[in-house]
Structure 1
Amino acid sequence: MPLVALRIQQTGRQHYHVHSALLSGSICNPRRTWRGAHTVVASGLGGMTPTDGAHLAAAAQRVPSVRTELAATFRTALHSAFPAISVEPIVVATNQARHGDYQCNNAMQLFGRMKGKEGAPKKPTDVATAIVDALPASSMIAERPTLAGPGFINVKLSHGWISERIHSMLLQGIGTWAPPFKYKRAVVDFSSPNVAKEMHVGHLRSTIIGDTLARSLEFCGVDTLRINHVGDWGTQFGMLIQHIAETRPGGLEGTTTEEVSDLQKLYKESKARFDADEDFKARARAAVTRLQSGDTEFQETWRRICEASRNEFDAIYQRLGVHILWRGESFYNPVLKSLVEELIERGIAEDSDGAQVVWVPKEKVPLMVRKSDGGFGYGTTDMATLRQRIQDEKAEWLIYVTDEGQAGHFKLVFGAGRRWGTIPEENPPRIDHVGFGLVLGADGKRIRTRDMGAATRLVELLDEAKERCKGTIKERRGDDISAEELDESSSIMGYGAIKYADLKNNRKTDYKFNFDEMLNLNGNTAVYMLYAHARIASIVRKVGKDVNEVAKTAKLSLDHPAEAALGLQVVRFTETLEDMFIDLAPNRLTEYIYELANLFSTFYTECKVAGSENEDSRLLLCEATAIVMRQTLSLLGIKPLYRI
C-alpha cells in the first residue's frame, strides 16, 4: 500500500484535506488491536538517496506522519465498507480539541455518490457508521470514533501511542520523522544579487526563503543544489568598465582591487552617462563586445569587480549562515548563441521586428530570446539554466525563489521549455516559481536609505538587529556573560529575529519591517522561541540527569491534559513539514513552532518537572519538545540559545 500522497488545501485553522502526490514509500499492513497492541510500521523512501547528513535516519527507520498513518487506516476501512467505490480518505486535524484530534470527512461525499441507488444508505451518518465499523483495530486510536454533524468522524489518538512515538524518536533521532520523498535531486535558485551593487533589503526574502526550502529538502534527504544566479554579465558591465577606463587615474590599470561601495557609486555615474550621452553609450556597447570577445584587460577588470562583489556577498551569507554556490549569468553565456540558433532551426523561435521570440500557448506576450540588436536577455539565460539543470544536473525538482513580479516571466520560460522539449512530456520534473512580496517600512512604503532614496543596505539591518539584542541580553545578564558569549548570543538572536519576522508571513504578501515587533519577547517572534528553548534547557540543567540515559529506562506518559496537548503537537512535526512542501510556504513552520512554544508554556505552568513524582517522564517530554524545536529552528536557519 503506498504512503498517502499529499496535496493540502486549507479549509480552516489547522484543518487540511489530504489528496495527492508528493511523498513516496510504503506501509506494511500492521497487526492492530484497539488497545495495548504494538503497531508495526515500515516506511520506504521511494528510491530516495540520503545525503551525507548524520542527522538522517536509515531508510528503513523512517516513519510516516500521524496524519498519513491515520489516513492509511481509514483507507482500509473505506475499501472494506464500500469496495465498489474508489475513494481516497479525507483526513483533517480538528479545529477544536473537544471534537478530538482528527476527523475523517468522507461520509457526505460517499453518500452523495450512492444516493438513489438500490441499497444505498439513507443518510450520511449511516455511511459514517459503516466506515467506523470497518476500521481495523489499532493501538493508534484511543477508543471507538464518535460521529458529529452530518457524518464527521472524530478520532482521539491514544496517549500511549503518542508516548511510544515520541519515545522512539528520542532513542532513534529526529531524522526518523523526516518525510520520505520521491525526488532524489533538487535545485533551489535563490538570493541572486547583482555584481557591483551592495546587497539590500530587497535580497532579504529570496535569501531567507530559499535557504529554508533548501534546509528542509536536505533534512528530508534530497540531494539539493543551492544556486546563486548572480547578475554578473551583460551591457551594464561594458558601461561600468568603460566609465572606469575613462574616469579613474591610470584607467583600467589604475588599481588591482575593487570595493563594492566604490563600484556602486561608479555604476550610478556610468548609468547616468549611458542614459544621457549617445557617444558614451556607443563606447559602452563597444566595451561589451570587447569583454565578450575575451579582451584581456577588460576581462581582468570584470574579474576584479566580480571578486569584490563575491567577497561582500559572502560576508553577509556567513553572518546569515547561508551556504550557496555562485553560478552567475556568465556561466551560461557560451551556449546562448547556439541555443537560439537551435530554436530558430526547429521553428520554435520566430522573428518579431528583428528580434527572436518564442510564443507560449495561451500567453498574450512571447518570450524574447534574442534582441533586435543581436544581444541576449534574461529569457535566453533562463532557458539555458533550465536545460542545464534538467539535463546536466539531473534535477527532479526545480525551485526558483524571486519576487512575485517575475511570475509572468517564469511562466513564459517554463512554457517555452515545454515547447522546446527541455521539460519532457513524460515524467517531467516538478518546477515551482516561489514568488514573494515586498519588505516595507513602518510607513507601508519600500524601505529606503536616507541618501539618494536607495534601498536599505542589508548589512545595516543586520548590524542594528544585533546591537538591539546585545543591549537586551546585557540588561538581563549583567556581568554574568562574557564579551564573546554576548557577541555570539546577540548575533543569533538578532539575525534570527530578522529571519523569523520574514518567514512567519505569507510569502506572497508584503510585510512591514518593524524592529520593535520582531524583538518582542511575548509575541510570535524568534526571541520568544529562543527564550522558550532556553527555558527547557534550564529545566534539564536543574534536574541534572543525563536525558539520553533516562530515555533508555524511563517510560514517557501523558496523563495530564497539558502533557497530552504538548505531546500531540510534538508528533505533528512531520505533517507540518509535509504541508510546508505542498505550497512551499515556510510560515507553516513558524505557525507550528509558535503553537509548540505556547503549549510548552502551559505545560511548564501546570506540570512541575524537577522533584515531581513524574520527573523522568516529564523530563523526556521536555527533551522531545526541545529536539523538535531545535530542528524547526534549524530549518528556519536559526541557531538555538541554551541560556539568555
Structure 2
Amino acid sequence: MTLLQNLESRLASALEKVLGEAIAPNIAPAADLRFGDYQSNSAMVLAKRQKTNPRVLAQQILDEIDLGELATAKIDGPGFLNFTILPAAYAAHAESLLKDPRLGAPEPGKGIRVVVDFSAPNVAKPMHVGHIRSTIIGDSLCRIARFLGYDVIADNHIGDWGTQFGMILHGWKTLLDHDALAADPITELVRVYRQVNASAKDDPSVLETCKSELVKLQAGDAENLAIWQQCINVSKTGLQKIYDRLDVRFDHWLGESFYNDMLPGLVEEFVEKGLAKESNGAICVFSDGTKAQEQDPFKVHREDGWNDNPAIIRKADGGFLYATTDLATIKYRIDEWNADQVWYVVGVPQQLHFRQIFEAAERWGKTGDFRHIAFGSILGEDRKLMKTRSGDNVGLVDVLEESVERAAAAIAEKNPDLQGKEAEEIAEIVGIGAAKFAELSQNRLTDYVFAWDRMLALQGDTSPYLQYSNVRIRSIFRKLDSEFSAEGIKIILEKPEEIHLARLLARFGEVVPLVLEDYRPNLLTNYLLELARAFHSYFEACPVLKSEEPVKSSRLALCELSSRTLEKGLGLLGIRCPERM
C-alpha cells in the first residue's frame, strides 16, 4: 500500500463517520511542500452538497480521522485539508520498499487484457524518424502496463499489402541485386521501388506492367505470392535488427495481409445488417443520427452546413481500404484474443479515422474499450518537420547511429579511461537511451524539437543525467570494504534532504499508475528527474561513507533504494543503466 492509499483509506473512514455514507475522498500530492505532503479538497466539495461551512466540515473530519503515527493534519484556506507525513512514517515506508521488488507499485491491471498496436512500419520501406514516437511510446506503455498487472499483447500491424507491391514485384523481377538484398534488404528494396516508380512516370507501359503484377498478386499468382513472401521475410529481418537495437519486442506481427480473406465477408455483413450502404458504387458507413453533429465522426461542417462524411469500406472498383482492414483487425482482437482494451499508438492526423472505426465497430457489436493514443510530430532544430537535405524523411537507423556516435564522443571526453568494447557498449546504452528519453519526456500530443546536444547532455533533463546519477550511486558501493546488504537496515531520517529523498522514493508507486490514466510516460520521466535531483542534494548534504553507524548503514540503504528506483523507472521506459560512464 502506498502512503497515498493509506491516507485515502483513513480519510474515507472519517468521511463515512461524519456523513454517514461511503464517499471516495479527493486527495493528491501537494503542489507546494510548504502546505504539507498531501492535500484534499473533499471538505470544500462536500460542504456545498451539505449546505454547510467547509471549514466547519473540515474540522469535523479532522476530529474523526485516525492518523496514528502516519501524519499530522491541519486546515488551510477556505477548507483544504493538508497532511504532513511524519519522518518516522517515511522511514518505515522506505524499509518496506527495500523488501518489495515492486517498490510499492500496485497492480490495478490484474484481469484486464489489452492489445497495444504500435510501430506498424510498411514492408519494403525504411523506418524513418516519425516511427520513433509510435515505437518508443508504444513499447514504454507495454512495459508499464505489464508491470501494473495487465495482460498485454503487443501487435505490430505492419503494412504488408498495397499498391506499392506492384512496383516492387516488377523491380524484383527486373532490377534486383541479390547480393545487395542480402547485405541490406530494406535499402535494396527501396532502391528498386524508387527506380521503378521513376520509370513509370516516364513510361506508361511500365505503370501498366506494375498494375498487372499487382492484379496477379491479389489473384493468388504463385510466383508473385512467393516473391511477396520473400519481400516480407527480408523486410522483417531488417526491421528486427532495429527492434533488437531498441530492445523492443512484439508478441505478434499480424500485418494487413493477414486479414485479406476476412474483408469481403465483413463488407457483406455490414450491408446485410444495415450498417453500411452503397453510394456512387462504393460501400460506405454513414451517420446513424444518434449523435449531435458536432460530435458525429460521420459528419463534416462546410460552408453550406453539415454534410455526410462517410467511411468507405469498399471502393467502387471493389478494392478495400484501411478502414476495412482495421475493422477486421478489431473483430479478430475482440473475438480471438478476448481483448478488453485496444490501444492504438498512432499520430494525431489519424484521429478522425479512429473515431469512425471505433464507432462503426461498436455498432457492429464489437464492444471493447478502444483508445487512440495520439502523438504529435518531431521537428528539426529549425522547427520544421525533420527532413534530410534532399527532402526525404530522416531514417530511424541514421538517428540511432548519430545518437550513439555522439554519445561515444561525449563519453571519451569525460572518461578517456574507457576503451574498446566496454566504451562501445556504454555508448550504445547511453545513445539509445538518450533518443528514447528525448521522446518520452515530451507531452505526447505536442510537436517537439529533436536537439542532439541537449539530448545527450550530462546535466539537465536528459537520460544521460539519470544514468550518470545511478552510476554515481553504484560507485559509492564499490568503495566499501565488503558487500553491503540493505536487508533489515533501520532507516534514520533526520536532515531535511534525507526526508525529502524518502518522500520521493515513496512516490514511485503513486506515479507509475498515473502514467496510464492519460498514457503520459512524461509523468514518469519528470518523476525520475526530480528523484535524481533529490538524491544529488541528499548526497551533498548527508555524508554517507564518512558517517558513523547506524547512520552510515541507513544512508547506504537510501542510496540502494534510490538506485533500484532509478533502474526500475528507466527500465519501464526501455532504458538501460550502464555500470560506468
Q: Post-superposition shift, 1:375?
A: 0.7
Matches within 5 A, 1:330-341: 330-341=257-268
Is 1:296 the counterpart of 2:226 in the alignment? no
**Paired amino acid for 2:572:** L
Does structure 1 residue 536 correspond to structure 2 residue 462? no
Distance 2:31 2:67 in 1: 25
Residue in structure 2 matched with residue 401 of structure 1 by the alignment: 345
Matched, 1:153 2:90: no
**Matched letter for residue 404 of structure 2:** K
Question: Would you say 1:93 and 2:93 are equivalent positions?
Answer: no
How far did 1:398 drift?
1.0
2:375 to 392, 413, 436: 436
Task: Give me the identity figure in percent.
Answer: 38
Establish whether residue 263 from structure 1 lines up as the match of residue 263 from structure 2: no
Q: 1:276 to 1:136 in 2, by over 3 A?
A: farther
Q: Which residue of 2 aligns with 1:236?
A: 164
Residue 210 of structure 2 is matched in structure 1 by 284
Q: CA deviation at 1:623?
A: 0.7
**Partner residue, 1:48:** none
Cα deviation, residue 218, structure 1:
1.4
1:360–1:416 CA contact under 8 A, matched in 2: no
Structure 1: how far apart are the matches of 2:515 and 2:184?
42
Shift in alpha-carbon separation, 1:249–1:398, aligned structure 2, 3 A: closer
Structure 1 residues 232 and 172 mapped into 2: Cα distance closer, same or farther (>3 Å)?
same
Helix, strand or coil at the partner of 1:161: helix
Q: 1:268 Cα shift?
A: 2.6
2:33 is aligned with 1:106: no
* 1:566-592 deviation digits (Å, cap 9, x = unpaired): 111111111111211100011001000
Mapped to 2, the partners of 1:178 and 1:541 lie a distance apart of: 32
AA in 1 matched with 2:55: T
Q: Which blocks of at least 5 consecutive residues in structure 1 are unaligned?
A: 1-62, 116-120, 424-428
| Aligned equivalent of 2:494, options 515, 538, 559 | 559
Q: Which amino acid aligns with 1:368?
A: I
Contact 2:103 2:508 in 1 (8 A): no
* Cα displacement (A) at 1:182: 4.4
Q: Could you say what secondary structure the match of 2:99 adopts? A: helix
Matched, 1:588 2:516: no
Structure 1 residues 224 and 544, CA gap change in structure 2 (3 angstroms):
farther
Distance of 2:547 and 2:176 partners within structure 1: 77
Name the SS of the counterpart of 1:226 in structure 2: strand
Cα deviation code 1:48-94 (max 9, x no counterpart): xxxxxxxxxxxxxxx3x33222212111111111115x642110211
- Picking from 369, 372, 386, the partner of 2:313 is 369
Q: 2:393 aligns with which of 455, 460, 467?
A: 455
Question: What's 2:306 paired with?
Answer: none
Aligned partner of 2:260: which letter? N
Give the whole-Å Cα distance in 2 for the aligned partners of 1:191 and 1:454: 19
Asked if residue 380 in structure 1 is aligned to residue 324 in structure 2, the reply is yes
* Contact persistence 2:110–2:151 (CA under 8 A): no
Cα distance, 1:469–1:354 mapped onto 2, change above 3 Å: same
Distance 1:561 1:444 in 2: 42
1:257 and 1:304 in contact (8 A); partners too: no
Conserved in 1, the CA contact under 8 Å of 2:104 and 2:506? no
Letter in 2 for 1:338: G
Residue identity matched to 1:476: K
Shift in Å, 1:171:
1.9
Change (3 A) 1:226 1:265: same
SS for the counterpart of 1:326 is coil
2:381–2:450 contact (8 Å) kept in structure 1: yes
Query: By how many angstroms is 1:140 displaced?
Result: 2.1
* Equivalent residue number for residue 51 of structure 1: none
**Letter paired with 2:147:** F
Are residue 203 (structure 1) and residue 203 (structure 2) matched? Answer: no
The answer for the alignment partner of 1:311 in structure 2 is 237
User: Equivalent of 1:413, from 357, 379, 393?
Assistant: 357
Cα 1:257–1:341 shift into 2, 3 Å: farther
Aligned to 1:140: 70
The 1:464/1:507 distance shift into structure 2, 3 A limit, reads same
Q: Distance in 1 between matches of 2:150 and 2:341?
A: 10
SS of 1:174 mapped into structure 2: coil
Deviation readout 1:138-163 (Å, 9 max, x if unpaired): 3322x3x1111000011011222222
Return the letter of the residue paired with 1:304: Q
SS at the partner of 1:582?
coil
Separation (CA, whole Å) in 2 of partners of 1:237 and 1:175: 50
The answer to whether the 8 A contact 2:334-2:340 is kept is yes
Partner SS state of residue 374, structure 2: strand
Q: How many residues align?
A: 560
Higher RCO (Cα < 8 Å, 6 or more apart): 2
Assess, with a 3 A threshold, how the Cα gap between structure 1 residues 578 and 256 changes in structure 2: closer, same or farther: closer
Shift of 1:359: 2.2
TM-score (norm 1): 0.84
Shift of 1:311: 1.4
CA 195–249 in structure 1, closer or farther in 2 if over 3 Å, else same? closer
1:165 corresponding residue in structure 2? 93
Pick closer, same or farther for the CA change 1:275–1:127 going to 2, 3 Å.
Answer: farther
1:130 matched to 2:60: yes
> Shift of the alpha carbon at 1:544?
4.2
Q: Are 1:174 and 1:627, in contact at CA under 8 Å, matched by a contact in 2? A: no
**Any idea what SS the aligned residue of 1:348 has?**
coil
State the match for 2:537 in structure 1. 602
1:497 equivalenced with 2:468 (yes/no): no
Q: Secondary structure at the match of 1:153?
A: strand
Q: Distance in 2 between matches of 1:400 and 1:147?
A: 44
Partner of 1:5: none
Tell me, in whole angstroms, the C-alpha distance in 2 between the residues paired with 1:256 and 1:341.
Answer: 43
2:449 matched residue in structure 1: 512
CA distance in structure 1 between the partners assigned to 2:477 and 2:513 by the alignment = 30
Q: CA deviation at 1:223?
A: 2.0
Q: In structure 2, what is the Cα distance between the partners aligned to 1:273 and 1:415?
A: 42
Amino acid at match of 1:383: L
SS in 2 for 1:466: helix
State the Cα distance separating 1:257 from its structure 2 match.
9.1
Per-residue CA deviations over 1:254-277 (Å, capped at 9, x if unaligned) read 999982212112223334455666
Cα pair 1:103 1:152 within 8 Å, conserved: yes
- Looking at structure 2, the residues matched to 401 and 249 of structure 1 have their Cα atoms a distance apart, in angstroms, of 34
Structure 1 window deviating more from structure 2 (347-356 vs 166-175): it is 166-175
- Give, in whole Å, the separation in 2 of the partners of 1:351 and 1:218: 44
Over aligned residues, Cα RMSD in angstroms? 2.0
Which amino acid is the alignment partner of residue 293 of structure 1?
A
SS in 1 for 2:520: coil
1:72 equivalent in structure 2: 9
Q: Which residue does 2:565 correspond to in 1?
A: 628
User: What do residues 310-334 of structure 1 show as CA deviations (whole Å, max 9, x unaligned)?
Assistant: 1111111111111123221111111
Normalised TM-score (structure 2): 0.92
2:487 counterpart SS class: helix
Q: 2:575 aligns with which of 618, 634, 638?
A: 638
Q: Does 1:218 align with 2:146?
A: yes
The corresponding residue for 2:413 is 475
In structure 2, how many angstroms separate the alpha carbons of the residues matched to 1:249 and 1:589?
47
Name the residue aligned to 2:505: 570
**Which residue type is aligned with residue 171 of structure 1?**
K
Which residue of structure 2 lines up, in the alignment, with residue 29 of structure 1? none
Distance in 2 of aligned mates of 1:131 and 1:255: 73
CA distance in 1, matches of 2:507, 2:100: 17
Letter in 1 for 2:137: I
In 2, are the aligned partners of 1:189 and 1:227 still within 8 Å (CA)? yes
